[in-house]
Amino acid sequence: MARSRASGRFAADVSLLLLAVAFALPLAWVVLSSVDPHAGLRVRVPDGLTLDNFDAILTPDITYTPLLNSLILCGGATALTVVCAALAAYPLSRFRSRLNRPFLLTILFATSLPITAIMVPVYALFVRVNLIDALQGTILFFAASQLPFAIWLMKNFMDGVPKELEEAAWTDGASSLQSLVRIVLPLMGPGLAVVTVFSFVMMWGNFFVPFMLLLTPDQMPASVSINDFFGNRGTVAYGQLAAFSVIYSTPVILLYVLVARRLGGGFALGGAVKG
């Protein structure tokens, strides 16, 4: 049996490596092209290494402004999401109420709705209330769309903090808000990090929402401005497109690695799938 297990492992290793290569090909293209002086559409080993592609795009116009916009948009919306979700999760996790279950079910239901579908009415609504092309409008919508899942995750993490620790503080006269900020949130640090990073990563990569709600080019986040590499610049400089993609993707990959390490890979899935 030991021998069949060893050959089973070998077969599994080979199949996995083949799949890994298939998945890696498009990723290899972006990494190699970004340093290739003559980048095309095909994966190939560059005939010389260059940083010209990065040099060409590291200008306020192409890179810094869109990334800063992304940061303002996603940072603002993430902060709003995390604060609102932490506040909302507290009573849901700590106090019994007949409303908890229906509320949580509604939240879970909203979590899985296709948000893409409501972008047209959101656009029509935003035109009416004059929020089109306003960063704060986009931030508010981003936060609202992320909130159901954030509340759900936050509540599950908060349930893991034992209530006894707070009871001492309550007898000493602390208010709920004080015990939330001083005791519960510090104790659920990793959970808080997961909610924050997850919200941020989701919005950083989101294309459709800012594409619909923002119009002015110098307000566009990187997810939309990346389209400029096509369109009016004539021929596409693939090397520059690849270099931009690398810069734009790196923060979310780093954030993911940071959180995934700490939580052993499963990331936010525990909350989503296990219920």
**Stretch 155-174 residues interacting with another protein (CB under 8 A):** none
Helix %, strand %, coil % of the chain (to 5): 80, 0, 20
Indicate whether 115 belongs to the interface with another protein (CB under 8 A).
Answer: yes
Q: Which of 58, 72, 144, 237 binds another protein (CB under 8 A)?
A: 144
The residue to which tokens 């594409």 are assigned: 211
| CB 266, min distance to another protein, A | 6
Supply 54's token pair: 């990065």
Q: How far is the CB of 147 from another protein (least distance, A)?
A: 5
Q: Under rule CB under 8 A, which residues in 47-76 are in contact with another protein?
A: none
- Which position among 46, 50, 75, 176 is part of the footprint of another protein (CB under 8 A)? 176
The answer to the question of residue 26 lying near another protein (CB under 8 A) is yes
Nearer to another protein, 193 or 211 (CB): 211
Please report how close the Cβ of residue 256 comes to another protein at its closest, in angstroms.
5
- The answer to whether the CB of 28 falls within 8 A of the CB of 43 is yes
DSSP 59: S
Of 196-235, which residues contact another protein (CB under 8 A)? 201, 204-208, 211, 222-224, 226-227
Beta carbons of 165 and 202 less than 8 angstroms apart: no
Residues 75-114 that bind another protein (CB under 8 A): 80, 83-85, 87-88, 90-92, 95, 97, 99, 101, 103-105, 108-110, 112-114
Rounded Cα distance, 129 and 140, in Å: 13
Residue 117 binds another protein, judged by CB under 8 A: yes
According to CB under 8 A, which one of 116, 160, 190, 217 is a site residue for another protein?
Answer: 116
Nearest residue to 215 (alpha-carbon basis) of 150, 100, 110, 130: 130
How far apart are the C-alpha atoms of 249 and 205, rounded to whole Å?
8
Compute how many other C-beta atoms are within 10 angstroms of the C-beta atom of residue 204: 22
